[in-house]
Structure 1
Amino acid sequence: MYDSDVSDEEWKLIKHFFDPVDNRGGAGAKHTKRTIVNAIFYLNKTGVQWRLLPKEFPPWKTVYDHYSQWNRGGVWEKVMDQLNREHRKKTAKKQRRAMV
């Protein structure tokens, strides 16, 4: 829906980082982790204030709480490292093909 949304390929690479962090005590999640991650990436890309998050995303407080929890747990660092590694692999492959 937005340019900042993670692709299916990207989500497959990072979704396991978000699965272990769940403090709802077994209750079903109202919003998917992917939707919350997309909201955080949207905030990061646009610079919009938390409270101005578009209505298509979960409530800003829900997104903020997940962001804070994942930040404290070091999840974002791991996610960005994984995405950067994958990007570098793809870039290196493209450069090798261009040389041939």
Structure 2
Amino acid sequence: MLSDAQWAELEPLVDACQPKGKTPLQDLRRTLSAILWRHQNGAKWRVIPAELGRWWQAAQVFIRWARLGVWERLLARVDGR
């Protein structure tokens, strides 16, 4: 799970990069924690711990954001810091 300090740094960057027009995620912090957990552990989507939310929601956000170039924009903002 993202710590409060990590989220405080990441949240404004995510807000600037995430797609607009769709209903915002209710718990974006938890969903991003699930995506990061999967990346760090090299696991399949379905084994994301339940406390990190629904695995399919994390997978859906990851795939949608990949198609829309959100991850590239987010990485560019992080690198620019």
Same fold (TM over 0.5): yes
1:24-60 deviation per Cα after TM superposition (whole angstroms, max 9, x unaligned)? 5xxx75x422221221111111212111000111211
Residue in structure 1 matched with residue 8 of structure 2 by the alignment: 8
Name the structure with the higher helix share: 2
Q: Per-residue displacement from partner, 1:44-95 (whole Å, max 9, x unpaired)?
A: 1121211100011121111111111111101010011111221xxxxxxxxx
Q: How far apart in 1 are the matches of 2:57 and 2:29?
A: 13
* Structure 1 outlier segments of 4+, above 6 Å: none
What RMSD over aligned residues (CA atoms) do the two structures have, in Å? 2.4
TM-score under structure 2 length normalisation: 0.78
Q: What is the TM-score of this pair, normalised by structure 1?
A: 0.65
Alignment of 1:15-94 (within 5 A): 15-20=15-20, 22=22, 24=23, 29=25, 31-86=26-81
Alignment correspondent of 1:98: none
Larger radius of gyration: 1
For structure 2, list consecutive stretches of 5 or more residues without a partner in the other structure: none
Between 8-17 and 43-52, the greater mean CA deviation after superposition: 8-17
Higher relative contact order (CA 8 A, sep 6+): 2
> How many residues end up aligned between the 2 structures?
80
Match of 2:16, as an amino acid? H
SS in 2 for 1:48: coil
Q: Structure 1 unaligned segments of length 5 or more: list them.
A: 87-100
